[in-house]
Amino acid sequence: MYQEIAWQASLLGVALIAAVFLYVGLRAGNPADFGPIKRRLYAVRTYWFAFLVALGAWLSVETLADLPYSTTHGEAARPAEITTEVTGHQWYWEMDRTAFPAGTEVAFEVTSADVNHGFAIYNDDDRVVAQTQAMPDYTNVLRHTFREPGTYRVLCLEYCGLAHHKMTQEITVTAPDR
């Protein structure tokens, strides 16, 4: 979902800026006195600045409420229903378990035995559904609830050497436990 939002928001923003530059660039051959233009456009800038600040503030409020960090810092309101350990190695994943029921919250305790890796879970449409870094000496806890049964795949999203792109692990998600 966020991929699509990111794409469309970026496309809109880039298109708007491109349109302004194209409009202004194409009209540059039709000169006018700078004084009034400067006064008018710098007056508009105050509103533009206020709009950008308001947009940023609104986005911050909307997006900073639910962050993925609390479990790692021991501040989670409740434990996850399943906890499992994940260790990245050059170039494979060592996982306590690789089958999970859909609809059940899983806490992946992710670390690394050697270099930095990126523990990213892909769904069967090859979209990332969640990720965290696998770091030596540290454990990042990633909480995730699989929504759909199916075959998921872990890919490494931090460059770790020769077989970085081969560092995969299948995860099976079964129908919800009832």
Q: How far is the CB of 166 from other proteins (least distance, A)?
A: 8
The smaller minimum CB distance to other proteins, of residues 60 and 174, is found at 60
CB 105 within 8 A of CB 144: yes
Q: Which of 164, 172, 69 is nearest to 117 (CA)?
A: 164
The smaller minimum CB distance to other proteins, of residues 137 and 178, is found at 137
The smaller minimum CB distance to other proteins, of residues 47 and 178, is found at 47
Distance of alpha carbon 42 from its chain centroid, rounded? 36
Q: Which of 108, 160, 158, 115 is nearest to 136 (CA)?
A: 115
Q: How far is the CB of 41 from other proteins (least distance, A)?
A: 5
Q: How far is the CB of 163 from other proteins (least distance, A)?
A: 7
The smaller minimum CB distance to other proteins, of residues 80 and 160, is found at 160
Spatial neighbors of 37 by CB under 8 A, at least 6 apart, are: none
Two tokens, residue 102? 């859909």
Q: How far is the CB of 103 from other proteins (least distance, A)?
A: 20
